């Protein structure tokens, strides 16, 4: 079911050029406003409550683990330059698969723990929204973001009473693309929450938004490979084989064999090499053509695998190795990873 975003700004203004109210007749009594159904009487389903509790337990365990480490110091990052040098290619007919980018991998990253626990303990209908483009909006901007999100959600659902809360970071924000990005939206009915999640993306001239409910989704996106020459489907298939074989004989393959030791579907005497081969057999790619400002085309291949682990640290370890990998080939040139 598509949710159409419509917004009409209507302003009626009456002016009175007279300096006196003499002779004015009182207006008729105001018609009582219709009763608005309050969604607050609705509760989360048992499944949604279980999902929230699972996410909360996972995040608290992750936070406890992270508290044992000494955070590295880094210099504040300068804001990115205004203007884009790349224009994305049109959406293909079959649509883009989900890409979990660096700034939107986990919707609860860097959210203050007390706020996170309160949000995930709610027993009334709610959703989580990330504004586009993903970035942290500081305190002086967040009221404006709350207003935009509230206005657009109410327009999309044709309802009133929506309540939006901005995120509070748990650590100091040093750069513009650092989490948290997530806003809490409540004061909606269960059916409206489901409508928003099914729509997933809302966009207007003022703001774009991604909508989520709490849940744990295993990561699958390994990054974007650039630099290979892909002219046709045969070249694309060769590029996927090149990437897969590079992982098999390199450090990425070794790490895959280690972090899949407890994989529930890769037991029964499987060796680390067996597990590596099984995971890499699920590796797929998706080609995207990026058009630069001068009209030249750059080809990137987004890489996906079946998630080998549910441990965040193991996944980060794999990504760090993959992002340093190069893919030399006498015919396809040399592929490398980008930050796309």
Same domain for 47 and 178, yes or no, is: yes
Same domain for 237 and 201, yes or no, is: no
One digit per residue, the tens of pLDDT, for the chain of length 340 reads: 444 444 444 334 344 444 443 444 444 544 554 444 445 578 888 888 888 888 788 777 777 777 666 555 554 444 444 443 334 445 556 554 444 443 344 678 888 889 989 998 999 999 999 887 655 566 677 888 899 899 999 998 999 999 999 998 888 877 766 778 889 999 999 999 999 988 888 877 778 888 888 876 777 888 889 999 998 999 999 999 999 999 999 999 999 999 998 888 888 888 999 999 999 999 999 998 877 767 778 888 999 998 888 787 888 899 999 999 999 999 998 999 875 4
* Helix, strand or coil, per DSSP, at residue 253: helix
Question: Residue 39: its pLDDT value, please?
Answer: 53
* Helix, strand or coil, per DSSP, at residue 337: strand
Question: Residue 176: its pLDDT value, please?
Answer: 66
Same domain for 136 and 57, yes or no, is: yes
CA 61 to chain centre: 21
Of 183, 212, 241, at which residue does a domain stop? 212
Of 194, 212, 230, at which residue does a domain stop? 212
Examine residue 3 and state whether it is found in any structural domain, yes or no: no
Examine residue 256 and state whether it is found in any structural domain, yes or no: yes
Report the CATH number that the domain containing residue 102 is assigned in CATH.
3.30.70.330
Same domain for 265 and 148, yes or no, is: no
The number of residues making up the chain comes to: 340
Q: Residue 31 CB: number of other CB atoms within 10 A?
A: 6
Cα–Cα distance measured from residue 241 to residue 231, given in angstroms and rounded to the nearest whole number = 16
Examine residue 93 and state whether it is found in any structural domain, yes or no: no
Same domain for 54 and 170, yes or no, is: yes
Question: Residue 69: its pLDDT value, please?
Answer: 63
Sequence-ordered list of residues with C-beta below 8 angstroms from that of 231, at least 6 positions apart, any chain: none
Global pTM reads: 0.54
Examine residue 10 and state whether it is found in any structural domain, yes or no: no
Question: Residue 1: its pLDDT value, please?
Answer: 45
Question: Residue 107: its pLDDT value, please?
Answer: 73
Same domain for 325 and 197, yes or no, is: no
Same domain for 296 and 278, yes or no, is: yes
Examine residue 167 and state whether it is found in any structural domain, yes or no: yes
Contact (CB, 8 A) for 329 and 339: no
* Helix, strand or coil, per DSSP, at residue 237: helix
Cα–Cα distance measured from residue 122 to residue 49, given in angstroms and rounded to the nearest whole number = 9
Q: Residue 308 CB: number of other CB atoms within 10 A?
A: 26
**Domain span holding position 305:** 221-338
Question: Residue 82: its pLDDT value, please?
Answer: 42
Examine residue 287 and state whether it is found in any structural domain, yes or no: yes
Q: Residue 111 CB: number of other CB atoms within 10 A?
A: 25
Which one, of 216, 197, 198, 122, lies nearest residue 165 by Cα? 122
Examine residue 75 and state whether it is found in any structural domain, yes or no: no
Cα distances (angstroms) measured from residue 265 to each of 178, 262, 277, 319, 324: 35, 9, 13, 22, 29
Same domain for 208 and 295, yes or no, is: no
**The total number of structural domains that make up the chain:** 2
Q: Can you tell me which residue has the tokens 């939006």?
A: 164
- Could you tell me the two tokens for 292? 């630069």
Same domain for 152 and 237, yes or no, is: no
Same domain for 160 and 265, yes or no, is: no
Same domain for 174 and 300, yes or no, is: no
Cα–Cα distance measured from residue 225 to residue 299, given in angstroms and rounded to the nearest whole number = 9
Examine residue 14 and state whether it is found in any structural domain, yes or no: no
Question: Residue 95: its pLDDT value, please?
Answer: 55
10 Å CB burial of residue 6 (0-12, 13-18, 19+) is exposed
Of 212, 241, 257, at which residue does a domain stop? 212
Same domain for 257 and 188, yes or no, is: no
Question: Residue 141: its pLDDT value, please?
Answer: 78
Cα–Cα distance measured from residue 207 to residue 66, given in angstroms and rounded to the nearest whole number = 34
Question: Residue 339: its pLDDT value, please?
Answer: 59
């Amino acid at each position: 079911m598509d949710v159409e975003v419509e917004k009409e700004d209507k302003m009626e203004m009456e002016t009175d050029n007279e300096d006196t109210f003499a002779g004015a007749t009182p207006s008729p009594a105001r018609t009582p406003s219709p009763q608005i159904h309050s969604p607050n009487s609705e509760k989360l389903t048992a499944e949604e409550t279980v999902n929230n509790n699972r996410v909360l337990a996972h995040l608290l365990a992750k936070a406890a683990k992270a508290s044992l480490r000494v955070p590295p110091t880094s210099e504040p990052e300068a804001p990115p330059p205004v203007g884009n040098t790349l224009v994305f290619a049109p959406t293909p007919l079959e649509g883009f698969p989900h890409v979990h980018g660096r700034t939107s991998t986990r919707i609860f990253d860097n959210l203050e723990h007390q706020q996170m626990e309160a949000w995930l303990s709610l027993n009334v209908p709610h959703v989580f929204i990330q504004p586009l483009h993903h970035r942290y909006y500081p305190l002086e901007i967040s009221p404006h973001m709350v207003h935009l999100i509230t206005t657009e959600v109410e327009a999309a659902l044709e309802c009133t009473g929506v309540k939006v809360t901005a995120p509070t970071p748990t650590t100091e924000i040093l750069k513009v693309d650092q989490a948290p990005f997530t806003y809490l939206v409540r004061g909606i009915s269960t059916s409206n929450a489901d409508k928003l999640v099914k729509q997933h993306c809302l966009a207007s001239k003022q703001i774009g938004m991604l909508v989520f409910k709490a849940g744990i989704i295993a990561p699958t996106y390994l990054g974007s490979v650039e630099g290979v020459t892909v002219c046709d489907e045969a070249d694309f298939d060769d590029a996927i084989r090149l990437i897969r074989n590079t992982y098999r004989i390199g450090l990425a393959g070794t790490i895959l064999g280690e972090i899949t030791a407890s994989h529930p579907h890769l037991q029964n005497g499987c060796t680390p090499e067996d597990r590596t081969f099984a995971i890499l057999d699920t590796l797929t790619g998706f080609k995207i053509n990026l058009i630069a400002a001068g009209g030249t085309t750059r080809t990137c291949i987004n890489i996906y695998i079946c998630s080998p682990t549910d441990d965040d640290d193991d996944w980060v370890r794999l990504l760090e190795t993959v992002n340093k990998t190069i893919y030399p080939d006498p015919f396809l040139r040399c592929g490398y990873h980008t930050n796309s």
